[in-house]
């Protein structure tokens, strides 16, 4: 697995959307939130460097807004199964 750098991911997001970064008192633990994506937590770090989130770089850079679902990535959502319908599972 490739290690991702939190500051690099925040810098990428800031090219396309507003980012709010919250941090711990010592500045090592951080969370990057994007208000335009309904306050979605896009990524975080516990030690100041490694990023735990997943970003869909292509979707974010396109700035396209799809009518059904926009898979920008993030960290606070867990999807299983189909997106909708009688057999959908959403946790």
Q: Cβ(46)–Cβ(24) under 8 Å? A: no
Tell me the average pLDDT of the chain.
Answer: 86
Which pTM does this prediction carry? 0.79
Q: Cβ(20)–Cβ(35) under 8 Å? A: yes
Write out the residue range of the structural domain in which residue 35 sits.
6-90
Provide the number of structural domains found in the chain: 1
Question: 7-38 pLDDT, tens per residue?
Answer: 999 999 999 999 999 999 999 999 999 999 98
Distance in angstroms (rounded) separating the CA atoms of residues 25 and 88: 40
Could you tell me if residue 1 is inside a domain?
no
Could you tell me if residue 38 is inside a domain?
yes
Structural tokens at position 80: 């299983």
């Amino acid at each position: 697995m490739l290690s991702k750098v939190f500051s690099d991911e925040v810098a990428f997001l800031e090219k396309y959307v507003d980012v709010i970064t919250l941090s711990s008192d010592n500045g090592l633990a951080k969370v990057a939130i994007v208000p335009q994506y309904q306050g979605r937590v896009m990524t975080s770090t516990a030690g100041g460097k490694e990023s735990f989130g997943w970003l869909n770089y292509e979707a974010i850079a396109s700035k396209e807004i799809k009518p059904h679902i926009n898979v920008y990535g993030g960290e606070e959502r867990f999807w299983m199964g189909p997106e909708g319908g009688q057999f959908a599972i959403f946790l």
